[in-house]
Amino acid sequence: MNIEKIRQGVKGNIGREILFYPVIDSTNTAAFEKALNSKEGLVILAESQLKGKGRLGRTWVSPPGLNIYMSIVLKPLIELTDATLITIMAAVACTITLRKISGLEITIKWPNDLIFRNRKIGGILTELKSEHKKIVFAVLGIGINVNADLKDFPEDIRNIATSLRDETKKSFSRTEVLIELLNELNKWYEVLLTNRKVIVDKWKELTSTIGKKVKVVTVQETFEGIAQDIDEKGALILKLQNGEQKKIISGDLTILS
Ligand code: BTN
């Protein structure tokens, strides 16, 4: 990764300042620690993570020198109840970038998995600090499997993970991917602050979840049904077998058919 080239190639607030670490526990944890005293748009990049974090307390496997591990500090003036839109926005920017760079028809699985051939090629983890029902800051963490080979992943995730290289048999410059991605994030972050409907509509265009039979595991319950839509805040609208509609704000979704 050429950090200087990335700095020069990025237009906008996100990526104006970049901190780079060869090894780190987790770029999200580091960004969280620095966020209060840093400007919006600070980017933390690492070549590898020792304690990469995934959603729902999972681990994000982070082999060195191959993939993208990035966290961004954001301070959006939006309501706490709209925070999921940050992740929806990032999923849109990542999908557009990866499609442009690779030509693969990558899609979004609700809420924010980047998938190809039903395998995960990237993930997003947003962590928030809030006070009095307001967002103090958000850390937007993005992991993208760029040049990793399946053998770089532990056996138990080899049948659910993939990478740009694995799918195209080509290597990609992470510097180029990051320049494209940061520019796309700058663009869509503006849209989030000004016209959120455009984000949700774009997400719907890029998802492969709507219309599918799905299973959703939430903290309390498990639901099965047809994924009908997402609402204006990014919540999933599920049509249950008994015809009832259920709104789900957060959960783990599996596509059944
Ligand atoms: C998921 O479970 O899908 C979310 C994965 C998010 C991984 C990224 S890698 C960079 C940042 N730092 C972390 O520890 N996690 C996120």
CA dist 12 and 14 (Å) reads 6
Q: Which of 24, 68, 142, 217 to mutate to test the pocket of ligand 1 (most atoms within 8 A of CB)?
A: 142
CA distances from 216 to 50, 159, 189, 222, 226 (A): 30, 20, 28, 6, 10
Q: In the predicted model, is pLDDT for residue 257 greater than 90? A: no
pLDDT digits (tens, 9 = 90+) for 38-91: 999 999 999 999 999 999 889 999 999 999 999 999 999 999 999 999 999 999
Q: Rounded to the nearest 10 degrees, what angle do helices 196-206 and 174-194 cross at?
A: 130
Kindly give the distance from the C-alpha atom of residue 42 to the centroid of ligand 1, in angstroms, as a whole number.
17
Kindly give the distance from the C-alpha atom of residue 211 to the centroid of ligand 1, in angstroms, as a whole number.
27
Is residue 70 within 6 Å of ligand 1 at its C-beta? Answer: yes
Burial of 229 (0-12, 13-18, 19+ CB in 10 A): middle
Note the pLDDT of residue 95: 98
Stretch 18-25: mean pLDDT? 98
| All domains of the chain in start order, with CATH | 3-206 (3.30.930.10), 213-255 (2.30.30.100)
Indicate the average pLDDT of the chain: 96
Looking at the CA of residue 122, tell me the nearest atom of ligand 1.
Answer: 3
Q: Which of 58, 67, 69 to mutate to test the pocket of ligand 1 (most atoms within 8 A of CB)?
A: 69
Q: In the predicted model, is pLDDT for residue 1 greater than 90? A: yes
Q: Which of 53, 72, 74, 115 to mutate to test the pocket of ligand 1 (most atoms within 8 A of CB)?
A: 53
Q: What is the pTM of this model?
A: 0.96
Confidence band (pLDDT; 50, 70, 90) for 109?
very high
